Amino acid sequence: MALDVRSICVALALSLLSIGVTMLISTRSLPPNLRRGAGNWSVACLVQTVGWTLLAARGYVADPVSILGGNVAIALSLSFHYRAIKSIRGENWRLTETYWPVAVIAVTFFVFTLVTPNFWLRVLVISAVGAVYLSICAYLLFGISSDRTVSSFRLTGAGFGLLAVTLGARAVTAFMNSLAPSTQSLLVADHLQQLFFLLIFLAVYLVSFAFVLMTAEALTWDLARLATLDPLTEIFNRRTLEDLGAREAARSRRDRSPLSVLMFDIDHFKSVNDAYGHPVGDAAIKHIVEVVREATRDEDVLARYGGEEFIVLMPATDVHAANHAAERVREKVATSPLSSGNGKVSLSVSVGVATAAGAATSFKALVEASDEALYAAKRAGRNCVVVAGASPAAPEVRRAAGM
């Protein structure tokens, strides 16, 4: 039984309409970074609905409206798909890279519809341009960063790749047919037309379904990120630190290896906020994080414990190595002032160190010991390191030079 091309166009339009409306409604519940991508995708579906509707209306409306309007609408929908993918990637776009397919197709279809009517040249242009643009979209999706789950991104990319291959094959066919005069029409149901529109129908469904999965996957990744990271500094938050700390403490007891904790606090942080304002205070916190990262090892875990308090979890590190690391952190911060609009802001930290040498010590006990050592450092005049040792009540104090 032959497939009716007009019926496939109508089915495409209805499917895209339902998908577009559903996604447009659901975007309200998404976070801003995903809302923009999903919003562009829903607009792409709605614009493409107009395009397929106009193509299906061929013979019922004027040809310039059906042919030119329908194909330009479909080209415009590709631009919104591109914008959606760039948004999901967290990237901006330029107007030139977004709307060039629309300009090329609008000019070409004007010429080969109104000036020199030629069906196969129209098909050649829209197929070639679509194949190139869809290939770019597929490339962007396959290039999504590997720090998040990417199965649905690749599935969406595969859908765009299928569309690109289909349009590429159609462009080749159109080029071969354009060499001879023809009165072919879009709605003539030959086998190639039927196969092309069937593949388009299936690929559109695949891409739309995969994009819904992609949005859900990205939302899950973002929620997991919010649950584990501090939003200002993008280092681990207290909850994540406690989970990691409990695991490291268990491993330390099992392997009888040392485990150290550095707890440090920004000295006189309230004075920084009062003197320079909270934006500079936030910048100071982020600056401290970057400085401490440079002064610690890759395997060390840096986390924000609360306010201006931070913890460095140091696996397989004895008290002497932890003491040296704490002094390195203190010195690095003291010699790395923050550059702000009001000049350089000098910063310093007080550090408390606690170590479990493979004994039956919990992470909570280590944190409490390092906290006591930190307050001892503050009582000792700040900008210094206190090691809690075997008896946190009698800590060893390492003062900064000159104090």
Q: Give the pLDDT score at 136.
A: 92
Interval 288-305 mean pLDDT: 95
Q: Is 188's pLDDT higher than 90?
A: no
Cβ(194)–Cβ(3) under 8 Å? yes
Interval 382-388 mean pLDDT: 93
- Its pTM stands at 0.65
Q: Which of 62-71, 191-200, 226-235, 391-400 has the lowest mean pLDDT?
A: 391-400
DSSP code string of 87-143: HHTT----HHHHHHHHHHHHHHHHIIIIIS--HHHHHHHHHHHHHHHHHHHHHHHHT
> Percent of the chain having pLDDT more than 70?
89
Work out the pLDDT band at 403, boundaries 50, 70, 90.
very low
What domains, with CATH codes, occur in the chain?
5-227 (1.20.1070), 238-399 (3.30.70.270)
Q: Give the pLDDT score at 77.
A: 92
Q: What is the pLDDT of residues 85-106, one digit of tens each?
A: 888 887 888 888 888 888 888 8
Q: Is 221's pLDDT higher than 80?
A: no
DSSP 383: S
Q: Give the pLDDT score at 201.
A: 81
Work out the pLDDT band at 141, boundaries 50, 70, 90.
confident
Q: Give the pLDDT score at 58.
A: 85
Q: Give the pLDDT score at 367.
A: 94
Q: What is the mean pLDDT of the chain?
A: 85
Q: Give the pLDDT score at 400.
A: 45
Q: Is 180's pLDDT higher than 70?
A: no
Work out the pLDDT band at 182, boundaries 50, 70, 90.
low
Q: What is the pLDDT of residues 344-374, one digit of tens each?
A: 999 999 999 999 876 667 899 999 999 999 9
d(CA 317, CA 338): 30
Q: Provide the token pair at 41.
A: 């995708």
Q: What is the pLDDT of residues 327-349, one digit of tens each?
A: 999 999 999 999 988 789 999 99
Q: Is 309's pLDDT higher than 80?
A: yes
Short-list 338, 346, 353, CA closest to 388: 353
Q: Which of 69-73, 174-178, 224-228 has the lowest mean pLDDT?
A: 174-178
Work out the pLDDT band at 179, boundaries 50, 70, 90.
low
Q: What is the pLDDT of residues 7-54, one digit of tens each?
A: 888 988 998 999 889 888 888 778 776 888 889 999 999 999 999 999
